[in-house]
Structure 1
Amino acid sequence: MEFLEMIFGKIGDLTWGWSLIPILVIFGCFITLATGFVQFRFFGRMFRVLSRSNNSADPSRISAREALLVSVGGRVGGGNIAGVAVAITLGGPGAVFWMWAVALVGMATSLVECSIAQLYKRRVDEKTFRGGPALSIIHGLGKEFHWLAVVYAICLIAAFGFGFNAFQGNTVAGAVQDSLGIDRLWTGIALSLISGAIIFGGIHRIAKASDVIVPIMAVGYLALALLVIVLNITEIPGVVSSIVRNAFGFEQAVGGGMGAALAQGLRRGLFSNEAGLGSAPNVAATAEVRHPISQGITQSFSVFIDTILICSCTAFIILLGNVYVPGAEGIDGVALTQQSLVSHLGAWSQYFLTGAILLFAFSSIIYNYYLGENALSVLSKNPVSLVIFRLAIMAIVFVGAVAPGATAVFFFSDPMMGVLALVNLLVIMMLFPTALRLLRDFRTQLAAGVDRPVLNPDAYADLDIDRDAWRNTIE
């Protein structure tokens, strides 16, 4: 076991340690420039997805809005509550600024990777599509790269399907035990059974569940943060000034100054919004849309919601309170957020936060499950393997919940996500010309007065796309 931990530790050092974060940031800046700041140009269009009139008219299909909410449910999790607190503790208020910056850059990366996944999606049946980086590799780069798709699929299952689901189960059980005094065993049983009831319904049931859960948890948390902001409205200019001054080293809240703020902000921001990590495209490909870029814009909006809205809520709750003391050791993570909230609104708010953590983690579990299911389809077409995988997910959630130390077994999760991200970035780089081709097509139609551009598969006859998946766009 020690040998394996050493091997995966080295993999983690080679990815997250020094190479991956700079590559993600630099490549994100390159995409932003090469696409003409696409995330800002199309920012107004992002809000269209919230209107049901701009989604699929057939309720049996996955709409762009439902795919967005599944993605938001996956991106928004413990990192938005505990991760932001850790970033502020280790990097000072300036870390928040760099989280915002990496999110704005990541919006462009997410748009591109999700548009590519949409283009190469495959129709499974009359109501279902399947896609993601693995299928983009096979059909976009060619079957000689099938081995790379297998590497991607294995890393996705290991990191998201197994490791992160154990962590989410552990997070929920710990929060419920600390605030409500309910034993981990009962939380584990309930969480496992509810998860099973949804994941055995496949992507359609996952989408319908997210359509209910995600708006409740996101709007509820935003409302609570807005209340805190209103109660402390006179202190907002000072907090914003502190964030900016610490970000550029004009003030130093912690040891390391600007360097600590930059490192923590970028790292926590990338972990939270997942832009470029190769996870969200799996969900983006399930939606029925008129043009791949449309879903790319929608997924770019998901990054905005995750970091600019939800993470900022946590940051202001902490920085407007009197619990956080710059440079002091002691309270951090979810406890810092929880105690800061209590200092603003009273003891009742800790129970609200427990509920928010429960919903955040649960939505992440069903999202992580679908990523694993999608990856499994590349490795095996046997329906028995899918049933076994679903049962395994239920067991992993249960074990992660009841055994506080069990998550240590999944030490391979972060290194596997690092490899996953490097593979995904390689795919984006190789297929970036195709993404630019899609973007030109989309912009040309807008310039011609087409309000909702449509993909014409005949214009992409040289590519290995599934014409059947786009038949509704030309009917």
Structure 2
Amino acid sequence: MQKQKEGVNTLTIQMVLANVNEFLYSNILLALLIGTGIYFTIRTRFVQFSLLKEGISLLMEKAHTEDGVSSFQALMISTASRVGTGNIAGVATALAAGGAGSIFWMWVTALIGGASAFVESTLAQVYKEQDGEQYRGGPAYYIAKALGKRWLGVVFSLLLIACFIFGFNPLQAYNVSSAVSYYFEDQELVAVVIGLILAIATAAVIFGGVHRIGIISSTVVPIMALLYIILGLYITLANVQKLPAIFGMIMEQAFDLKAIMGGFAGSCVMYGIKRGLFSNEAGMGSAPNAGASADVSHPVKQGLVQTISVFIDTILICTTTAFMLLNYGSDANLTGMPYVQQAISAEVGQAGIHFITISIFLFAFSSLIGNYCYAESNLKFILDTKRSLCIFRILAIVVIFFGAQASFSTIWDLADVLMGFMAIVNIIAILLLGKIAITCLKDYSAQKKQGKDPVFDPERLGIANADCWKAIVKDYKEDASMDDK
């Protein structure tokens, strides 16, 4: 009787989450995400494309101080969070539920979302704060400082903490246990063991601070992403004759208006946007937390670098997964990690399954620590004490352990709903503050035309409450005068 009652309660929670999920994405987020992306693409004069080369060149810049986080490390922290199981299991879920057309809408979300990513990360740099030898910031900080609404910043921080600690991190842990379950019959035991391993490994890193997170992320993420893309290219090129049919299927289903309008909530558009947002996080307000940590001379530098992360995530890695799955074909009995494992196994045998299991573990692990980094920054915005931080770290580790044993449907819907509310708050904020990011972009471009390495001076631009930059500008000016001597 007790089990039956628990089953009914779980079903009720799933239904509520599913209904809220459908309402958010069908009625609000579609217009906000696409509309905001198009608006900033036009206002910034297609910054995500026109200055892409500039952004790539900035990856080589080192941090100004020895203990600072470099542009590349900040990019890898954000990419560590972006490039996770969403790029593998998330794409598989989108294809299984929304069809091949969902991939096209994932591409659209990334291409136009790059402008939103630029704006939010630039704003995060403008309004960042000193945190010892490093920096912290994000939407909560620019909402409080630029809009003067600390209460709304607290709301955003609470949403982000709930989303990443209770939504995304359990989902990452669940997908790892799902992948490893392939090898064992006792799936409950596997979930417990994987939960313990991930919890212990995460604890070892997060107690080392953001600098250690940056070092690990800048090592793990590039290597695994490159190997994963190479595998995808091999499978795609080995079946190159199927590419025209795959592209044709994607485009045909993406614009099948009859199918879309017949069931919009379950259409390729909705699944493409949801999984695209979950994957690249453009406009959601998460990546700016990593962007703010970078030690750079001008906010636009990190804005351009963070745009690259969106492309790496969706255009490269999600497309790699999509092509491998579409090459294999659909299977009504498969979704998530089992779908990916079977698709790769069909091409390269058991070795492929072993590789994907290792990949999903490392991608998930890098996401766990990247997600924690975001949550910690927002906890410090609300309550910055050593005791609260210690309790929070323990809670985050415990949630990872239990997440490995969670329910698939409930955890996906919870992550989607929390992500949706986060995105709404952040998008409204960046729409109100976008002119500041555009002012910064104009200042950066003007200094580049003069042959300078741009240095941001908020007072000269009439930007208030960017107090952190007074000391930064002073340091850069002193360095410049020393170089002249």
Q: What's the TM-score, normalizing by structure 2?
A: 0.89
Q: Give the SS at the match of 2:267.
A: helix
Equivalent AA in structure 2 for residue 446 of structure 1: K
Of residues 191, 194, 214, the one that matches 1:184 is 191
Greater CA drift, 236-245 or 376-385: 236-245
5+ residue gaps, structure 1, are none
Instruction: Give the distance between the partners of 1:93 and 1:106, measured in 2 at CA.
Output: 21
Residue from 412, 417, 422 that aligns with 1:420: 422
Distance in 2 separating the partners of 1:350 and 1:80: 16
Distance in 1 (CA, whole Å) between partners of 2:349 and 2:18 is 42
**CA RMSD in angstroms, aligned pairs only:** 2.7
Provide the rounded CA distance (Å) in 2 between the counterparts of 1:388 and 1:71. Answer: 24
Q: Is the 1:73–1:360 contact (alpha carbons within 8 Å) kept by the matching residues of 2?
A: yes
1:74 and 2:78 correspond: no
Check conservation: 1:167, 1:407, Cα contact below 8 A: no
Q: Which residue is equivalent to 1:430?
A: 432
* Counterpart amino acid of residue 339 in structure 1: Q
State the one-letter code of the partner of 1:134.
A
Q: Output one character per residue of 1:250-299: Cα deviation in whole Å (capped at 9) or x when no partner.
A: 99899869993323222221221111111110110000011111100110
Name the structure 2 match of 1:39: 48
2:160–2:422 CA contact under 8 A, matched in 1: yes
- 1:20 and 1:405 map into 2 onto residues whose CA distance is 25
Map residues 16-95 of structure 1 onto 2, 5 A cutoff. Answer: 16-51=25-60, 54-56=61-63, 58-95=65-102
Deviates more, 1:224-233 or 1:12-21: 12-21
- Asked if 1:453 is matched to 2:454, the reply is yes
Give, as a single letter, the amino acid of the residue that structure 1 aligns with 2:315. Answer: I
**Further displaced range: 437-446 or 172-181:** 172-181
In the TM superposition, 1:108-187 aligns within 5 A as: 108-125=115-132, 127-142=133-148, 145-179=149-183, 183-187=190-194
User: 2:114 is matched with which residue?
Assistant: 107
Quick check: 1:81–1:334 contact (8 Å CA) kept in 2? yes
Whole-angstrom distance in 2 between the partners of 1:406 and 1:89: 14
Q: Distance in 1 between matches of 2:15 and 2:184?
A: 38
Alpha-carbon separation, structure 1, partners of 2:74 and 2:249? 37
Task: Give the equivalent residue in structure 2 for 1:366.
Answer: 369
Structure 1 counterpart of 2:441, from 439, 446, 449: 439
Mapped partners of 2:319, 2:171: distance in 1: 23
Q: Distance in 1 between matches of 2:237 and 2:22?
A: 43
SS class of match (1:474): helix
Amino acid across the alignment from 1:148: L
Could you tell me the percent identity over the aligned residues?
A: 38
Q: Distance in 2 between matches of 1:254 and 1:84?
A: 22
Deviations 1:401-421 (A, max 9, x none): 2x3449948965433322211
Counterparts of residues 69-468 of structure 1 (less than 5 Å): 69-125=76-132, 127-142=133-148, 145-179=149-183, 183-249=190-256, 260-321=267-328, 324-325=329-330, 329-401=332-404, 403-405=405-407, 408=410, 412-450=414-452, 452-465=453-466, 466=468, 467-468=470-471
Q: Distance in 1 between matches of 2:69 and 2:349?
A: 41
Distance 1:242 1:405, change over 3 A: closer
**C-alpha separation in 2, matches of 1:254 and 1:4:** 27
Q: Aligned AA for 1:438?
A: C
My pick for the range that moved more, 167-176 or 204-213, is: 167-176
Check 1:255–1:311 CA distance in 2 against 1; reply closer, same or farther (3 A cut): farther
Once the two structures are superposed, residues 319-341 of structure 1 have per-residue CA deviations (whole angstroms, 9 ceiling, x without a partner) of 222xx23xx62222222221111
1:312-363 alpha-carbon deviations (Å, 9 max, x no partner): 1001111222xx23xx622222222211111111121001000111011111
Q: Secondary structure at the match of 1:193?
A: helix
Q: Would you say the 8 A contact 2:167–2:418 is kept in 1?
A: no
Amino acid corresponding to residue 274 of structure 1 in structure 2: E
Cα separation, 1, equivalents of 2:269 and 2:377: 34
Structure 2: gaps spanning 5 or more residues: 1-8, 479-485
Question: Is the alpha carbon distance of 1:161 and 1:85 closer, same or farther for their aligned partners in structure 2, counting shifts above 3 Å?
Answer: same
CA distance in 2, matches of 1:36, 1:175: 43
Counterpart code for 1:454: V
SS at match of 2:88: helix
Q: From the superposition, tell whether residues 319 and 60 of structure 1 become closer, same or farther in structure 2 (CA, over 3 Å).
A: same
Relative distance call for 1:330 and 1:411 in structure 2 (3 A) is closer
Deviations 1:451-470 (A, max 9, x none): x3221243145411022344
SS of the aligned residue for 1:123 comes to: strand
Q: Does the CA contact (< 8 Å) of 1:213 and 1:363 recur in 2?
A: yes
Distance in 2, matches of 1:251 and 1:139, equals 47
* 1:187 to 1:7, Cα distance in 2 relative to 1, 3 A: closer
Distance 2:24 2:450 in 1: 44
Describe the superposition over 1:58-96 as per-residue Cα deviations: whole angstroms up to 9, x where unpaired.
442100000101111100112111121222223322221
2 CA distance for matches of 1:188 and 1:298? 33
Contact 2:224-2:362 within 8 A present in 1 as well: yes
